[in-house]
Chain A
Amino acid sequence: MTTQLTHAAAPVKTSGRGSGRARGGQAADVGRPGFAWAVPATIFFVLFAILPLLAVAVLSFMSWGGIGDPEWVGLDNWSRVFDDPVMIKSIWLTLLLTVLGVVLQTPLSILIGVWAAGTQRNRAVISAVYFVPLLLSSTAVSVLWRALLDPNFGIPSEATWLFGDGNLFGEQSTAIGVLAFVSTWQFTPLHSLIYQGAARAIPQVLYQAAQIDGAGRVRQFFHITLPQLRNSIITSMILMVVGGLTTFETVLILTQGGPGTDTTISAYYMYQKAFKSFDFGAGAVIALLLVVAATIISLIVVRLSGYDKMRSTMEGVS
């Protein structure tokens, strides 16, 4: 869950940076902390996050089997990874699952979020239930669904009219369907909550004006609510994309990448390469590709949307 969360905020809060500085322009520097206050946390973070990230780039040019010293092999890992049909397939599967996740979750969570932004009491109660999947770890969610979808004892065995022979994990299409559904089950609450917060912040005056102009509910939704939610849609999509790229537990526990390699997404393939086949060089290459892909996609989404310019969604209000 949290890996996903962490990506959201990056473009959001940058706007707040420096505002304190501007306000304090006249104030003397008396009593201002020096950078020394930031040093302990920074050292810790560099040691356990930044250095490993640099190390993964170096390791991608080395051969290492887990024991002994890594050995320089140049581009060997890279060419091996790109000649590997399973790797190519895993990239497509990762993209497919990511796109499926965005397509399933976005409309659903916008609807739920906007609905939950209302004030009746029953909404609060229902929203509290929605929340539960978000508290479960990905491990617990995956184990739970693995048990619920068990071909012999689970729900499919009861509803053969819907699920056929009940073995949803035996075929690529249904296995991918399960993975997409389980992510949606787990993360729709998070995205609904993002939209709920944003929908609450939409000024009521806009709706009042629209009603005076005679705009109906549907028009109001498309002409006021959706445009006002633009920033949240972007944040939420970045979360979904990065979360989709780095999905791991769900695949490990629900499908083990199978049947065959039919659900072997890149993050799972990286784990297999590094920690099952002890080919840490190839694992490092895939890990690096994941970071690069996540960063590039986030940047593209932010750029395309004009989000980086922090355009106001308040236009037409004041």
Chain B
Amino acid sequence: MRRRPNYLAGVASVAWLIIVALPLYVMLSATVQSKGDYAKGSPLSWPEHFTFENYSGAFDEGFGKFFLNTLIVTVAVVAIVVLLVPPLAYAVVRSRSRVASGVFRLFLLGLAIPAQAVIVPMFYLISEAGLYDNLIGVILPTAAFCLPISTLILSGAMRDIGHELFEAMAVDGASPRRMFLQLVLPLSKGGISTIVVFSALQAWNGFLFPLVLTQSDSTKVITLGLYNFQTEHGINVPGTLAAVFMSMVPILLVYLFARRALVQGLMGVGGK
């Protein structure tokens, strides 16, 4: 039996679609207009003369360097997460040790820690460690804050691996290490790509840690670049919006290629 269409929700959805899409349209059309044209016309009007000066202008402001810094942070964070989480999730799912289950509870607890809560002591620790204004000082806490959700996602994926597979390998006398490499890793590829997408998103969009733990232009990441651009050139709307758009291009690309991993991860958050 088919459910009839839900008109009320349909109307709400279309209204919301306009509210979501309109700003995105204004952003895109503004970025290809000159500052003067944008100020003259309505924000909603289609550009008359196309120009890419806003984009090149953003690069003159150092956006290339900010991109590179963000890329370094993102790659490093993903590398740390992918190195640390699979063995952890493996232990959480398969180990009989009480310590491992206690550790899992610790990570669940970690889900409730917002970055704001630790930023003051983090500033102290990173300064004491001599890592202030150094990308490493941003990478380490950012990666740490990716761990709880990644552990949760990946241990969920590893629980789905059939029990008989482990038993069959145990009969063959396989060591935990061999099971991990030959069974667990290949079968949790989906979960691993989800945590890669998640931690990449978190690292790429991170703001508070870079804001507090870095200072100079040479360590500035893209979100800080955006923030500075808007404080210094608040009046240059097309330029600002071009910077906003560029900051989201890599994420859009990831979304296009890894939509499934992203949506699955997000839906998994909701439970059933």
Question: Which one of A31, A48, A267 has the greatest number of beta carbons of chain B within 10 Å?
Answer: A31
Complexed CA–CA distance, A132 and B256 (Å): 11
Asked whether, in the complex, the Cβ of A111 is within 8 Å of the Cβ of B13, the reply is yes
CB neighbours of A147 from chain B (8 A): 27, 30, 230, 237, 240-241, 244
Binary flags per residue of B219-233, CB closer than 8 Å to A gives 1, else 0: 000010011011000
Interface hit among B56-64, B114-122, B185-193: B114-122
Asked whether, in the complex, the Cβ of A158 is within 8 Å of the Cβ of B43, the reply is yes
Asked whether, in the complex, the Cβ of A21 is within 8 Å of the Cβ of B96, the reply is yes
CB neighbours of A270 from chain B (8 A): 116, 120
Q: Whole-angstrom distance from the CB of A262 to the nearest CB of chain B?
A: 20
B237 partner, pick from A33, A150, A287, beta carbons under 8 A = A150
A50 partner, pick from B97, B106, B125, beta carbons under 8 A = B106
Determine whether A103 belongs to the interface, using a CB cutoff of 8 Å to chain B.
Answer: no
Chain B contact patch, size range: 35 or more
Given contacts A31-B176, A158-B43, contact A56 B118 (CB under 8 A): yes
Determine whether B270 belongs to the interface, using a CB cutoff of 8 Å to chain A.
Answer: yes
Binary flags per residue of B143-172, CB closer than 8 Å to A gives 1, else 0: 111111101100110010001001101100
Determine whether A27 belongs to the interface, using a CB cutoff of 8 Å to chain B.
Answer: yes
Main secondary structure of the interface of A (DSSP, over half): helix
Asked whether, in the complex, the Cβ of A115 is within 8 Å of the Cβ of B12, the reply is yes
Asked whether, in the complex, the Cβ of A139 is within 8 Å of the Cβ of B207, the reply is yes
Asked whether, in the complex, the Cβ of B116 is within 8 Å of the Cβ of A35, the reply is no
CB neighbours of A305 from chain B (8 A): none
CB neighbours of B114 from chain A (8 A): 3, 242, 245-246, 290-291, 294
Within 8 A of B (CB), among A106-137: 108, 111-112, 114-116, 118, 126, 129-137
Given contacts A32-B95, A137-B204, contact A56 B12 (CB under 8 A): no
Asked whether, in the complex, the Cβ of A143 is within 8 Å of the Cβ of B226, the reply is yes
Complexed CA–CA distance, A33 and B179 (Å): 9
Asked whether, in the complex, the Cβ of A204 is within 8 Å of the Cβ of B156, the reply is no
Q: Whole-angstrom distance from the CB of A263 to the nearest CB of chain B?
A: 17
B116 partner, pick from A14, A158, A246, beta carbons under 8 A = A246
Given contacts A31-B179, A112-B16, A158-B43, contact A287 B271 (CB under 8 A): no
A42 partner, pick from B1, B42, B103, B174, beta carbons under 8 A = B103
Determine whether B92 belongs to the interface, using a CB cutoff of 8 Å to chain A.
Answer: yes
Complexed CA–CA distance, A248 and B209 (Å): 12
CB neighbours of B230 from chain A (8 A): 143, 146-147, 253
Complexed CA–CA distance, A59 and B121 (Å): 7
Asked whether, in the complex, the Cβ of A20 is within 8 Å of the Cβ of B94, the reply is yes
Q: Whole-angstrom distance from the CB of A293 to the nearest CB of chain B?
A: 10
Asked whether, in the complex, the Cβ of A140 is within 8 Å of the Cβ of B117, the reply is no
B163 partner, pick from A23, A37, A130, A288, beta carbons under 8 A = A23
Chain B's closest residue to A155 (CB) is B43
Complexed CA–CA distance, A137 and B90 (Å): 31
Question: Chain B residues in contact with chain A, CB under 8 A?
Answer: 1, 3-6, 8-10, 12-14, 16-17, 19-21, 23-24, 26-27, 30, 38-39, 42-44, 80, 83-85, 87-88, 90-97, 99-101, 103-104, 106-108, 110-125, 140-141, 143-149, 151-152, 155-156, 159, 163, 166-167, 169-170, 173-176, 179-180, 198, 201-202, 204-208, 212, 223, 226-227, 229-230, 234-235, 237, 240-241, 243-244, 247-248, 251-252, 255, 263, 266-272
Complexed CA–CA distance, A220 and B117 (Å): 43
Q: Whole-angstrom distance from the CB of A42 to the nearest CB of chain B?
A: 5
Question: Which one of B26, B91, B247, B255 has the greatest number of beta carbons of chain A within 10 Å?
Answer: B91
Asked whether, in the complex, the Cβ of A291 is within 8 Å of the Cβ of B94, the reply is no
Asked whether, in the complex, the Cβ of A38 is within 8 Å of the Cβ of B91, the reply is yes
Given contacts A20-B159, A115-B13, contact A55 B121 (CB under 8 A): yes
Chain B's closest residue to A190 (CB) is B266
Chain A's closest residue to B252 (CB) is A135
A139 partner, pick from B26, B112, B115, B227, beta carbons under 8 A = B227
A-B contact pairs, 25 of them (CB 8 A): A1-B205, A5-B269, A10-B108, A35-B100, A37-B90, A37-B95, A38-B99, A44-B84, A45-B110, A49-B147, A50-B110, A52-B122, A55-B118, A59-B120, A130-B16, A130-B17, A144-B244, A147-B237, A153-B38, A194-B266, A248-B208, A249-B208, A275-B123, A280-B120, A291-B114
Complexed CA–CA distance, A10 and B107 (Å): 9
Question: Which one of B26, B116, B237, B247 has the greatest number of beta carbons of chain A within 10 Å?
Answer: B116
Asked whether, in the complex, the Cβ of B117 is within 8 Å of the Cβ of A144, the reply is no
CB neighbours of A204 from chain B (8 A): 1, 3
Having A33-B176, A275-B212, A284-B120, one finds 20 other A-B pairs with CB under 8 Å, namely A5-B149, A10-B108, A12-B270, A19-B159, A31-B174, A33-B87, A36-B91, A44-B80, A48-B122, A52-B122, A66-B123, A126-B13, A138-B207, A152-B39, A158-B42, A185-B23, A188-B16, A194-B267, A198-B270, A287-B118
**A-B pairs with lowest CB-CB distance, top 6:** A137-B205, A194-B270, A48-B144, A115-B9, A55-B121, A37-B91
Given contacts A129-B20, A143-B244, contact A193 B270 (CB under 8 A): yes
